[in-house]
């Protein structure tokens, strides 16, 4: 009798695992991608802030170089996965402007199959963006 009860429990355990495992994997994949996305958004915000600061002090080339240091590479020309673009506006070295604006956009791509498990097919990268505005120093 005891052997028969244990065998029945094995089947129940397999069914429970089959039901719970996909949900558990989705939660784990969501934590991984959310953490990566949060880290990328922090980098984008910091790059925009440092780019605007450099734009108020020097020029656009220096602003791109400083933001590139934060982002880990030079800006691209198109928003592709893992690449970023910058839009500087307002050069404080030229008279007439009172503030410098620096925008950064980054193409974020999921690394886990979370979108596939959730039923969302994402072909284009997710756009993470930040804009920083700093007043020009007199």
How many domains does the chain contain in total?
1
Structural domain containing residue 111: 2-135
pTM for this prediction: 0.80
pLDDT tens digits for 47-57? 999 999 998 88
**Axis-axis angle for helices 2-57, 60-71 (nearest 10):** 160
Tell me how far apart the alpha carbons of residues 102 and 14 are, in angstroms, rounded to a whole number.
55
pLDDT tens digits for 81-112? 888 999 888 767 666 568 889 999 999 988 88
Tell me how far apart the alpha carbons of residues 38 and 82 are, in angstroms, rounded to a whole number.
14
């Amino acid at each position: 009798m005891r052997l028969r009860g244990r065998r029945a429990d094995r089947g129940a355990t397999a069914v429970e695992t089959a039901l719970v495992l996909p949900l558990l994997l989705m939660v784990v994949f969501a934590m991984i991608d959310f953490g990566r996305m949060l880290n990328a958004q922090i980098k984008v915000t910091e790059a925009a802030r440092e780019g605007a600061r450099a734009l108020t002090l020097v020029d656009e080339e220096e602003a791109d170089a400083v933001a590139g240091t934060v982002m880990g590479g030079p800006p691209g020309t198109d928003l592709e996965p893992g690449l970023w673009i910058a839009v500087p506006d307002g050069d404080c070295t030229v008279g007439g402007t009172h503030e410098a604006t620096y925008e950064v956009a980054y193409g974020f791509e999921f690394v886990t199959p979370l979108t596939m498990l959730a039923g969302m097919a994402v072909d284009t990268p997710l756009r993470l963006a930040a804009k920083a505005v700093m007043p020009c120093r007199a």
